[in-house]
Amino acid sequence: MSELQALVTKAETEFYPWVIENLTIDTPEQSKNASDMLAMGKAIFKSLEEARKTEKQPLIDQAKAVDDLYAPAKNRVEMAVGRLDDALITYHRKAKAEADALLKMQSEEQETKRLAAEAALIETMMANRAALEESKVTGEVFEAQPLPALPEPEAIIVEPVKQSIRGNMGTTQIKEVPEFTLIPGEEGNVPRNLCSPDMAKIKKWYAAGFHEIPGVLITMRSHTVSRFS
């Protein structure tokens, strides 16, 4: 008979019959008996707990040995994954910054051309008006200079930087999540409905569309989500 079976048998024969059948105490003698049974019950419970721990300990040791066996390989792969993760995020940020800068440059170039064309148009119109007024005085034939045409808007060609990177064996998405830091000394500026300040309420407030919160510094943290196919 195992230790568990022995303890269960002891509880079934010596403990349960006296407790389950009658739990009402009416006399001092019954209280003494109940005290004895309580002590017995606690002793059985303690013995069960000790037996459980004793029987479980080899499994815990075995599980720890398995963890220790896998740890070096996991740590090395995790380190490599971290390097790849950082490299992809850095590249994505750089590519996005370059695309944004190119878009801004092309937009500014178009705006410069438009303003120059408008200035040339106004200058020609003013010259024609002056020549017309002069012809009225001199009697010369007025010949208007042709008005320069305004440039047609040019298509801005900038390859958008995608949030996902598709390889031959898997796909990685670059995701950005907000991080919240209470600004030291400005905790009192946090809206009362988000206090004590309560970070959970702050996050819900942000998710609801309030992306500027007094007293809270909000920064975006990038992370990757990969799927191997």
At residue 57, the pLDDT reads 95
Q: Give yes or no for residue 39 having a pLDDT over 80.
A: yes
At residue 173, the pLDDT reads 84
At residue 144, the pLDDT reads 84
| Those residues with Cβ within 8 angstroms of residue 92's Cβ, 6 or more apart along the chain or in another chain | 161, 165, 174, 222
Dig out the tokens for 51 from the structure.
């037996």
Q: Give yes or no for residue 131 having a pLDDT over 70.
A: yes
160 cis-preceded (ω within 30 degrees of 0) = no
| Separation between Cα atoms, residue 15 and residue 162, nearest integer Å | 70
Mean pLDDT of 30-56: 87
Supply φ then ψ for residue 163, to 5 degrees: -85, -5
| Separation between Cα atoms, residue 54 and residue 213, nearest integer Å | 54
E strand or H helix at 227: strand 216-228
- pTM as predicted: 0.52
The angle at the Cα of 9, spanning 34 to 46, to the nearest 5 degrees, equals: 60
Residue type, 129: R
Band of residue 65 on the pLDDT scale cut at 50, 70, 90: very high
- Largest CA-CA distance found in the chain, in angstroms, rounded: 139
| Separation between Cα atoms, residue 40 and residue 46, nearest integer Å | 10
At residue 228, the pLDDT reads 56
At residue 21, the pLDDT reads 58
| Separation between Cα atoms, residue 59 and residue 139, nearest integer Å | 114
| Those residues with Cβ within 8 angstroms of residue 48's Cβ, 6 or more apart along the chain or in another chain | 4, 7
Mean pLDDT of 151-164: 76
The DSSP output letter for 15 is I
Highest mean pLDDT among 9-23, 61-75, 96-110: 61-75
Query: In terms of Cα–Cα distance, which of 173, 171, 172, 197 is closest to 183?
Result: 197
